[in-house]
Amino acid sequence: MIQFLDFEFDELQSVLFKAGEIIPLNSTQSNLLALFISNPKKIFSKEDILTEVWQSKVVSEQVVFQNISQLRAILGDEAIKTFPKKGYQWQLELIVTEHSTEPNNTSISSETLNHTSSKTEQDPIEFNMSQNKVTEQKRPNKAFSNSSIIICLAVFLSLIGAYYLQANDMLLNKFVSTNTKNAVSKTNAQVVHGDLQFIPFTADSPRHFKPELNALQSRLDFAIENKAADTREFINSPFMQYQKLNASNALVFTGILKGNGDSATREQLPYLLELLVQGPERSWTSYLYGSSMADLAEQTEVLINELANSDYFVLKSESLLSAELTLMNENMSQSLHALPLLAYQLIEADKFDSASGYVELLLAESELKHPLYYAYGKWLKGQLYQGKRDAVSAQIFYEQAELLLSDAHIYDLQAEVNKSMAELAHSIAHTKEDYDAIHRYLYKAASLARLGKKPVAEIRAYTLLSIKASKFGMKKERMDYLIQAKTLLAEYQLDGSHYMLPMYHFALFAQTTQERIRFYHEVLEKPVTPENYWVFFASADQLSKLYLKENKPEEALEVIEKITEPARSALLHAQYYRALDDLENAITYAKRSFNIGRGQHINWLSLNSALMLLELKQSQGENHELAEYREFIANHATHWWLSWRKDRLAKVGIDAESQMAGL
Highest mean pLDDT among 101-115, 140-154, 283-297: 283-297
Mean pLDDT throughout 499-525? 96
**Number of helices (H), then strands (E), in the chain:** 31, 13
Q: Which helix (H) or strand (E) holds 274?
A: strand 271-278
Instruction: Judge whether residue 212 has pLDDT over 90.
Output: yes
pLDDT in tens, 587-634: 999 999 999 999 888 999 999 999 999 999 887 766 788 999 999 999
Q: Residue 562 pLDDT > 90, yes or no?
A: yes
Q: Which residue has the higher pLDDT, 470 or 183?
A: 470
Predicted local confidence at residue 60, as pLDDT:
67
- Model confidence at 662: pLDDT above 90: no
Average pLDDT over residues 347-375: 94
Please list the residues that pair with 196 across neighbouring strands.
Answer: 251
The pLDDT assigned to 552 comes to: 96
Residue 277: closest CA among 258, 256, 254: 254
Tell me the percentage of the chain whose pLDDT exceeds 70: 83
Q: Is pLDDT of 345 > 50? A: yes
**How far does Cα 58 stand from its chain's mean position?**
29
pLDDT per position as a tens digit, 518-542 = 999 999 999 999 999 999 999 999 9
pLDDT tens-digit series, residues 53-84:
877 566 667 678 778 888 888 898 889 998 88
Strand order in the sheet with 7-10: 21-23, 15-18, 7-10, 2-4, 95-96
Q: Evaluate if residue 411 carries a pLDDT over 70.
A: yes
Q: Where are the alpha helices (DSSP H) in 510-582?
A: 513-524, 533-549, 553-560, 566-579
**Cβ atoms of residues 516 and 510 within 8 Å:** yes
558 HSE (CA, 13 A, CB side): 8
**Residue of 497 and 126 predicted with greater confidence:** 497
pLDDT of residue 140: 36
The average confidence (pLDDT) of the chain is: 84
Quote the pLDDT of residue 448. Answer: 95
Alpha carbon separation from 176 to 132, 173, 253, 364, 369 (Å, rounded): 20, 6, 25, 19, 10
pLDDT of residue 144: 36
pLDDT digits (tens, 9 = 90+) for 277-331: 999 999 999 999 999 999 999 999 999 999 999 999 999 888 889 999 999 999 9
**Whole-number Å distance between alpha carbons of 495 and 631:** 44
